[in-house]
């Protein structure tokens, strides 16, 4: 019996010890558990460790939402929270009976405003809870950030980086950060004649009343607020300066001084779409940010955009800023200087703006790109200032497609390609430049195996050598030359001109091609010889090929950026043709222009050695079909090769063919010469 009593006594003694150990939990362990949950952002678990007084001020959901909202707002990442070790002294009787204690900790994280770290301390309180003594956290706002007090809020302000500008070779702005006058309506002042006033304004601005009403019905609009409607010039602004329901503001925005003349080159920027925001979510973009939508604005987006700055601050209940927690300054985007000559760009566009055309201008010695033009065009400023539905529909429904960037697309080069055929033939000895070929009539077929297919020419010269074939642009001569070269050699040698390769330039040009999938038969080979068949080239690539004629057979590396220039011009394709071949073709092309019988005579300028070659590319489904003709001319001053122009104009049939193009190129050369004198 005594043994049983002792056993029961021992049991209750042990039970008492266990109960005592629960009451005496280690506050250091409690603090560590709280900090661990915090680092893992387990906010519900954190809430459960708070004192009843702290819980009384907010629900678990409110507690979690506050942390989540703040951390989302500051874009907190890589959160790390560690308890700071402090040397502990052995606890005496009084120390052990303390009801409160503090545990220091260190917080660090990455934020939208850069790295952030701070030291603070947890306050723990010994609390009787459900007949147990527990250590709980005395929560207060300073645990989020030490600078915070009750009622304070965290504010995040984005400091927009200034976008880099795009300049031409002389420092003229192609895409600038400017300002414009914005007209707006004060809704509460429209008065009884509101509908009449809106209708008159819509007519003046070239927009619909529906567009104005849509802006006035936005959720944020209030009677006394300025509601932006459209950007206007000073003339329009003057008419409305004293109208009580109209107001004006100066607004910073992107400006494209050369408008339509450089639109396809510069492109434009615009507010990011939801799809773009999703695609670039890891690159620091946010709702409302601008991004390059086309052209160089899009190509050089990463260099132009800069890096936004940010400020994370604590504000009191009235919104007054109390303290800055973290700050990073905005880094402006890079200013990009091009090799483009803006005045030449404008002159070329003025010459071709009524046409559907593609033009490339280069400095043939260095490969510097002086102009890239596509017409018809559009005004990129309209996308910045607010494009009206009327204007967009006009451009969208224009059959000439002003949104199509023609200078980046490949076209059949027609007879302008004959220089490539001639160079290949001369260099592999398949063409004897002095040999007179006897050709009868205006049509020719190799033999009966061609069926009813034949090659045509314009001039019925009975005896034709290389020079005459270039002067007359004889298709039959070059079709026969291609057959003499052979398909295998033609494909191999054409690669020396970069055909089939992407141009080594930071712009999305179409690859030029010799054929779709190899030259499969003699008819295709013959057509390829005079630039028809399946040959496609951009005007820039054709310009680069012709540049070899003044570079001893080397094709220069194309340059669009001034920072890519060196003292010595770079070579893209070394010895695309031999120096001897380049010299011979250069001499022949001078005569192709100077000769009164030459198809390129329209570009002749007395006293100048203009060398060049025309081209007329036929686009039709069959030999007998009536199709479209595109005209080409590629020319340069052989004595002073500072400018080489490659121009293609669509739909010249019935208008003089390639002579439409030679006249335009001549006028551009004359203007350049006049400006230089």
What residues are labeled active site? Answer: 415
Task: Give the CA count within 13 Å in the CB-facing half-sphere of 554.
Answer: 13
Tokens 């790295």 appear where? 115
Residue 125 to residues 53, 135, 617, Cα–Cα distance (Å):
11, 5, 89
Q: How many residues are present in the chain?
A: 677
Q: At a CB cut-off of 8 Å and minimum separation 6, what does 313 contact?
A: 154, 155, 157, 321, 322, 323, 324, 325
Phi, psi at residue 174, to the nearest 5°? -100, -35
Neighbours of 616 (CB within 10 A): 25
CA angle 620, 625, 627 (to 5 degrees): 40
Q: Which two tokens stand for residue 61?
A: 């959901």
Measuring CA to CA, how many Å separate 168 from each of 265, 367, 370, 481, 674? Answer: 11, 16, 9, 43, 21
CA 213 to chain centre: 33
Exposure of 315 in the CB half-sphere (CA atoms within 13 A): 13
| Phi and psi angles of residue 298, each rounded to the nearest 5 degrees, phi first | -85, -45
Token digits of residue 584: 């011979």
What residues are paired with 619 via a beta bridge? 628
Helices 475-485 and 487-494: angle between axes, nearest 10 degrees: 100
For residue 592, is the peptide bond before it cis, meaning its omega torsion is within 30 degrees of 0? no
Q: What Cα–Cα distance (Å) separates residue 229 from each residue in 8, 115, 214, 264, 636? A: 90, 41, 10, 27, 49
């Amino acid at each position: 019996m005594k043994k049983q009593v002792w056993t029961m006594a021992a049991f209750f003694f042990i039970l008492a010890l266990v109960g005592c150990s629960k009451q005496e939990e280690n506050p250091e362990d409690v603090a560590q558990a709280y900090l661990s949950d915090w680092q893992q952002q387990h906010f519900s678990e954190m809430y459960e460790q708070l004192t009843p007084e702290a819980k009384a001020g907010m629900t678990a959901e409110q507690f979690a939402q506050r942390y989540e909202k703040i951390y989302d707002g500051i874009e907190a990442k890589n959160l790390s929270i560690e308890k700071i070790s402090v040397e502990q002294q052995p606890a005496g009787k009084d120390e052990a009976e303390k009801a409160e204690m503090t545990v220091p900790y260190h917080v660090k994280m990455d934020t939208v405003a850069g790295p952030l770290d701070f030291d603070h301390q947890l306050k723990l309180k010994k609390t009787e809870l459900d007949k147990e003594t527990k250590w709980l956290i005395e929560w207060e706002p300073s645990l989020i950030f030490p600078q915070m007090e009750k009622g304070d809020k965290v504010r995040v302000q984005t400091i927009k980086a200034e976008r880099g500008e795009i300049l031409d070779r002389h420092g003229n702005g192609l895409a600038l950060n400017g300002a414009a006058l914005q007209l707006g309506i004060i809704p509460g002042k429209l008065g009884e004649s509101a509908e009449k006033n809106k209708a008159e304004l819509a007519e003046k601005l070239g927009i619909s009343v529906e567009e104005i009403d849509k802006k006035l019905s936005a959720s944020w609009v209030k009677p006394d607020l300025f509601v932006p409607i459209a950007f206007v010039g000073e003339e329009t602004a003057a008419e409305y300066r004293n109208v009580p329901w109209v107001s004006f503001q100066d607004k910073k925005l992107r400006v494209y001084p050369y408008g339509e003349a450089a639109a396809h080159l510069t492109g434009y920027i615009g507010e990011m779409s939801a799809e773009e925001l999703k695609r670039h979510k890891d690159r620091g973009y946010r709702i409302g940010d601008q991004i390059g939508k086309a052209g160089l604005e899009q190509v050089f987006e990463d260099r132009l955009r800069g890096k936004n700055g940010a400020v994370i601050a604590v504000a009191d209940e009235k919104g007054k800023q109390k303290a800055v927690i973290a700050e990073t300054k905005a880094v402006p985007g890079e200013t990009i200087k091009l090799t483009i000559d803006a005045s030449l760009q404008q002159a070329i566009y003025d010459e071709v703006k009524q046409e559907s055309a593609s033009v490339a201008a280069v400095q043939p010695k260095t490969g510097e790109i002086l102009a890239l033009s596509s017409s018809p065009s559009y005004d990129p400023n309209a996308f910045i200032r607010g494009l009206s539905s009327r204007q967009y529909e006009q451009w969208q429904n224009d059959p000439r497609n002003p949104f199509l960037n023609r200078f980046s697309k490949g076209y059949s080069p027609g007879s302008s390609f004959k220089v490539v055929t001639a160079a290949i033939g001369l260099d592999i000895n398949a063409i004897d430049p002095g040999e007179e070929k006897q050709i009868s009539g205006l049509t020719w077929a190799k033999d009966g195996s061609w069926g009813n297919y034949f090659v045509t020419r314009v001039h019925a010269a009975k005896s034709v050598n290389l020079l005459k074939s270039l002067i007359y642009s004889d298709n039959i001569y070059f079709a026969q030359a291609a057959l003499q070269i052979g398909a295998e050699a033609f494909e191999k040698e054409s690669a020396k001109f970069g055909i089939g390769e992407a141009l080594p330039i930071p712009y999305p040009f179409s690859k030029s091609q010799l054929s779709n999938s190899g030259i499969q038969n003699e008819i295709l080979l013959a057509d390829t010889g005079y630039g028809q068949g399946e040959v496609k080239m951009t005007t820039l690539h054709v310009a680069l090929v012709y540049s070899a004629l003044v570079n001893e057979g080397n094709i220069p590396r194309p340059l669009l950026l001034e920072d890519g220039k060196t003292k010595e011009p770079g070579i893209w394709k070394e010895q695309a043709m031999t120096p001897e071949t380049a010299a011979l073709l250069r001499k022949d092309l001078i005569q192709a222009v100077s000769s009164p019988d030459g198809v390129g005579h329209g570009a002749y300028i007395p006293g100048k050695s203009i060398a060049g070659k025309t081209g007329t590319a036929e686009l039709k489904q069959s030999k007998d079909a009536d199709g479209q003709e595109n005209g080409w001319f590629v020319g340069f001053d052989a004595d002073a090769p500072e400018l080489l122009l490659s121009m293609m104009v669509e739909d010249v049939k019935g208008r003089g063919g390639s002579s439409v193009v030679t006249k335009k190129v001549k006028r551009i050369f004359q203007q350049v010469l006049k400006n230089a004198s």
